Structure 1
């Protein structure tokens, strides 16, 4: 796990600026750094290293291929690098490797097979930049699901890229303005989805794609080597025909293979254990595979409504892991808030970022790599909202859209809209399909469209998903989340908080084979009534008693709606939301911001957009204005 950066045809002091970019992301790679500048000075590559595999200097980057033709910086892990190494040796592409690192395997595979075939062969998480010294091109690539970040764009007349958006911000001459067109999406979702960023002219490379950039002209050519949409379509077109028991056996086999690969490292490895189905399954299989005790980690809170640490401790004891828990106070959590703007480098407002940071910080004191159970809800139909959407769509679909849409408009433009129940029903009635219901569920309050002064918006993955792309409503919603919520919220949260403390996180359920198998499962193997993840539970119950797991899920959240009324955070919030300050910035509507805050403090109406606004304001003050 590392950080990469690059500058093409920079007009200033190239060496000083690539060093500045490296310094900005020292947290991503505290063990070492490297810089490459081409002889003509047109290409500069930077790298910060967190040593995981081959801790020697032989694994350092930027890495030069055996032929000297390619120079690469890369962030991530290739879990099947030994298999690719053997293939390269067998086919005579390489006679001898200089190191045991996956970096060398990756660059030689790219040079020998070409970028697309090499990426298709790889199983892992990564953000890659490869300079072809003969063709004078840089190729950027990102892993299939988007575990590792990669930003790129034009900065001060040069082409720049980095793992951390803040690296681009520190380049001399940076003057990219705020992309106000993304704010409506941000205040709806709480994050800024790829391909957009908070800055004009800077983008996130989409998951499953690679882009070749001409060093001289900055002309780009983008290709997709793997698509979540196509994986879902293929899976649903070729439904698994075995029994549910057979499906559980196959899923267990695939998870075991993924976990076995992801437990390989030259540093200590552990796992997050939140007491939910997903992390408990991962830890169960890890412990079954490990020769000794697996190190497991959880955090607890004194408030029983938010505390699952007692359950996690019971599961750990049953499995026999070496378990560490940390109970955090309100004071611990509140102390994280000032760090968030720099940690994420752009507005990001999933409040579970706070406990995720704290558990990562505690975990890093014991291990350098931690496996997590992320993606279980999205791949195995775990969210209860999926079943709700299925029921809503079941009632609506009998009425043609050309009838529902006018009725929806009529309700939303009548006095009925003043009552929450009619406003919500009126909004959902205008949905074309289950995916749009999923999108509209958290857009029923029209005030969210008034927060930003710029009322324009941009198309993004939820608006671009074709109607009835998949025929089954639950799968439609799962796909929407795997395209948007999971890569742009969950994975961003985990990567940035863990990297802030130099912890590498790995997600076994995002293994290509696991993902593609999950899409082939019929709904009845995933959900029974209101209970989801049935086939995943079938795997887990072989290792953990059913009665130990069958309890309401509390999630990984904090009572931010309560804390913001307490003196310390209230003073911080009101400082950021000061009406004169908001007006002087000229980005948000000061009257709307004031109404949202007063509705909360005076009337007890908490909207999640309060946290979204606060995270934007904190970012503006601490990152943008600096």
Structure 2
């Protein structure tokens, strides 16, 4: 699978020079590398990508890059993307990021000028980890290849564990490991021999086009989506994930229009409220795809989850990784060379329920401040919680008083369960419990002149997409051995989405209003009208009914007692709440902690700093 790993150092006595003497630029990519290059200041290894060297310059790139300059695009076709990258570096220097799009991670090691430039795509579809060295930097698309450098510490940090428990993954720039960082989307890393610097090279411009008619915008959306699928279907045998939702159905339908009878892959669950196979079948019949289906069982979870947990280079707590893995495995077994996934549409066109919910809370802020502070606040916050209407009114006001983006986390376990009841006192005293909140607030504040809806979606570009959903899908496709691409995150489509007015994206509480109007007639009515469901795993429910699954989960929780960062009584209480309380709700957090334990078990070298 695709990967990039390298090092750069000006100081010949640095650990990077020692690696060169050992004859191996950083390990960490499975199997023999497709290409490798070294010069006097640095080296790169690339697997599933391209690498080129000219005089004192190494250029390496991986992913699915797209070139905006026609001459560079032609060079990539006639030679390879690394040759185009070399030419872009000669012509544009660090301005090359304006010429390359798609999903990628790239690195330029320029010995002639003693300089490194590395970076990733606008949406962070391909990750890049890095660590500072004495006089240089190690970098790579996996934490493992960077952590393998002998000068990089591999201790697990308290901050990393706390962020994982807060977000259920590790959001950029945070890493689990001491000394490691991650590039956020649209950022580059440069090193000129003196120091490393991270900077942003692109920022979206949310300039809503109120002059364009909805019909014109809907037509443009069709054209952009079609072009995006065409670009990513350029592979011998493409296939598509098909959950039966808006985005996967759109991508599968457009793929089937280009390749009649294209393969689609769907997962079901024999559990009430979780199975969406009916909608996947509706879409498959409508577009004439060759449907492949699999029903995940509790036995599958017991068998696969330790392998899934250990496959990630940092702990990862999204339970829908498991169905994604079985989908990808079906595709690999069917000979698919690349799967097209529908991720991204909700974050571009307002498809998450929390967006509509926050719009309701925003009404509170429009009430004159004196009236709110002196009359309504004291009145509503004293209402009894036990009475249905009074309790709802009090809850509304309590949530409305929390500013965005903090209000988005009112569902968070660390919001509902006080951190001091969860973490050991000495652990909690050593972490900055405000850090996750500050990270979130910083991202939310970055867009200029953006609506609150667009700010929420922009925040989700990083933390819901780049650090969560995309890591889920790419990680599971890599484990299964199949390539994956995301047409909905095409650069042109993303830029177009920034022009669509917010009140069209989300109209009178209707999620995805603009998108649904645009694809009415293309998508089946049943899919247009269905309520948003998601790709969740009925883990908490199954765990109540399936003894081996329950044993796997509870054993993991009990092992965490010996790791000295969670309170023992919290673990006991979580088990009790799952058994006696809401199985699905508390089952999600059991999953998150189980995946952390299984990851730690599969990475015995990872120790708390």
What TM-score, normalized to structure 2?
0.86
| Alpha-carbon distance in structure 2 between the residues aligned to 1:609 and 1:520 | 38
The aligned residue for residue 251 of structure 1 is 221
The aligned residue for residue 428 of structure 1 is 399
The aligned residue for residue 7 of structure 2 is 7
| Alpha-carbon distance in structure 2 between the residues aligned to 1:609 and 1:401 | 40
1:62–1:71 contact (8 Å) kept in structure 2:
yes
The aligned residue for residue 323 of structure 1 is 291
The aligned residue for residue 11 of structure 2 is none
The aligned residue for residue 555 of structure 1 is 534
The aligned residue for residue 385 of structure 1 is 354
3-state SS, counterpart of residue 522 of structure 2: coil
| Alpha-carbon distance in structure 2 between the residues aligned to 1:200 and 1:414 | 47
1:368–1:502 contact (8 Å) kept in structure 2:
no
The aligned residue for residue 183 of structure 1 is 161
Q: Report deviation, 1:110.
A: 2.1
2:245–2:527 contact (8 Å) kept in structure 1:
no
- Answering whether residue 304 of structure 2 is matched by residue 303 of structure 1, we say no
Q: Report deviation, 1:240.
A: 4.0
| Alpha-carbon distance in structure 2 between the residues aligned to 1:317 and 1:10 | 58
1:33–1:48 contact (8 Å) kept in structure 2:
yes
1:25 to 9, 29, 53: 29
Q: Report deviation, 1:492.
A: 1.3
The aligned residue for residue 345 of structure 2 is 376
- Answering whether residue 175 of structure 2 is matched by residue 197 of structure 1, we say yes
- Residues 428 and 621 (structure 1 numbering): CA distance in 2 closer, same or farther, change over 3 Å? same
1:153-176: CA deviation from partner (whole Å, max 9, x where unpaired)? 147997321111122333446533
3-state SS, counterpart of residue 106 of structure 2: strand
2:409–2:415 contact (8 Å) kept in structure 1:
no
2:69–2:99 contact (8 Å) kept in structure 1:
no
The aligned residue for residue 483 of structure 2 is 504
1:541-587: CA deviation from partner (whole Å, max 9, x where unpaired)? 23233245422333211111123333212222222222xx5454222
Q: Report deviation, 1:394.
A: 0.9
The aligned residue for residue 35 of structure 1 is 36
User: How big is the alpha-carbon RMSD for the aligned residues of Structure 1 and Structure 2?
Assistant: 3.4
2:315–2:596 contact (8 Å) kept in structure 1:
yes
User: What runs of 5+ residues in structure 1 fail to find an aligned partner?
Assistant: 51-60, 89-96
| Alpha-carbon distance in structure 1 between the residues aligned to 2:448 and 2:201 | 20
| Alpha-carbon distance in structure 2 between the residues aligned to 1:21 and 1:424 | 53
- Answering whether residue 417 of structure 2 is matched by residue 446 of structure 1, we say yes
1:481-532: CA deviation from partner (whole Å, max 9, x where unpaired)? 1232221111111121112223221111211221121122123322343432
- Answering whether residue 58 of structure 2 is matched by residue 71 of structure 1, we say yes
1:134-163: CA deviation from partner (whole Å, max 9, x where unpaired)? 012221111000000110014799732111
The aligned residue for residue 479 of structure 1 is 458
3-state SS, counterpart of residue 521 of structure 2: coil
| Alpha-carbon distance in structure 2 between the residues aligned to 1:71 and 1:471 | 39
1:94-124: CA deviation from partner (whole Å, max 9, x where unpaired)? xxx89532232222212222132x2112221
- Residues 426 and 567 (structure 1 numbering): CA distance in 2 closer, same or farther, change over 3 Å? farther
- Residues 20 and 43 (structure 1 numbering): CA distance in 2 closer, same or farther, change over 3 Å? closer
3-state SS, counterpart of residue 500 of structure 1: helix
- Residues 243 and 293 (structure 1 numbering): CA distance in 2 closer, same or farther, change over 3 Å? same
Aligned pairs for 1:110-149 (under 5 A) are 110-116=89-95, 118-149=96-127
- Residues 406 and 335 (structure 1 numbering): CA distance in 2 closer, same or farther, change over 3 Å? farther
3-state SS, counterpart of residue 216 of structure 2: helix
| Alpha-carbon distance in structure 2 between the residues aligned to 1:212 and 1:100 | 27
| Alpha-carbon distance in structure 2 between the residues aligned to 1:488 and 1:263 | 24
| Alpha-carbon distance in structure 1 between the residues aligned to 2:21 and 2:549 | 39
What TM-score, normalized to structure 1?
0.84
1:270–1:367 contact (8 Å) kept in structure 2:
yes
1:5–1:18 contact (8 Å) kept in structure 2:
no
2:6–2:25 contact (8 Å) kept in structure 1:
no
- Answering whether residue 554 of structure 2 is matched by residue 567 of structure 1, we say no
Aligned pairs for 1:537-616 (under 5 A) are 537-547=516-526, 549-565=528-544, 566-578=546-558, 581-604=559-582, 606-607=585-586, 608-616=588-596
| Alpha-carbon distance in structure 2 between the residues aligned to 1:467 and 1:429 | 22
* Range that drifts further, 152-161 or 551-560: 152-161
| Alpha-carbon distance in structure 1 between the residues aligned to 2:191 and 2:590 | 40
| Alpha-carbon distance in structure 1 between the residues aligned to 2:311 and 2:419 | 25
| Alpha-carbon distance in structure 1 between the residues aligned to 2:83 and 2:190 | 21
User: What runs of 5+ residues in structure 2 fail to find an aligned partner?
Assistant: 9-13
Aligned pairs for 1:74-89 (under 5 A) are 74-80=61-67, 83-85=70-72
2:361–2:400 contact (8 Å) kept in structure 1:
no
3-state SS, counterpart of residue 285 of structure 1: helix
1:51-82: CA deviation from partner (whole Å, max 9, x where unpaired)? xxxxxxxxxx43214xx232122221113478
Q: Report deviation, 1:426.
A: 6.9
- Residues 520 and 625 (structure 1 numbering): CA distance in 2 closer, same or farther, change over 3 Å? same
| Alpha-carbon distance in structure 2 between the residues aligned to 1:223 and 1:405 | 45
1:195-250: CA deviation from partner (whole Å, max 9, x where unpaired)? 11111210101210111124x55x112221112xxx2xx32x44242221111101
Q: Report deviation, 1:332.
A: 1.9
